[in-house]
Amino acid sequence: RVEVVESGGGSVEAGGSLRLSCEVPEYTECRFDTYWYRQPPGKEREFVSTIDSDGSAAYADSVKGRFTISQDAAKHTVYLQMNNLQPEDTAMYYCKTDRPQGDRRCGVLYGAWGQGTQVTVSS
């Protein structure tokens, strides 16, 4: 099983910030696209943001202008900087890898999900 590791979640007040991280420590030689999804309590999982292996990013309308996705190639880590958080951003946030490139062993990164990190925003 591929280990996709999210971290950085927590509890903040409205208007606060958090930075989530996503790493795949055993596949640092692979290039791949990274997605962030979230699942609010009692709701379906929804797309938040994505960055491809070349650094092109996209965002859900609900987070545009507040969230920024980036990647640190040297640290093999993708970040999701979340500013001006609101109670409606409360959710479990998941990282997913996809479209791997490189060595054949990178193929396990097709659709690999992490366990999630909880973000709670109070009003």
* 55-94 tens-digit pLDDT: 999 999 999 999 999 999 888 899 999 999 999 999 999 9
Of the candidates 81, 86, 88, 108, the residue with the CA atom closest to the CA atom of residue 96: 108
* pLDDT at residue 75, rounded to an integer: 82
* pLDDT at residue 36, rounded to an integer: 98
Of the candidates 80, 113, 101, the residue with the CA atom closest to the CA atom of residue 33: 101
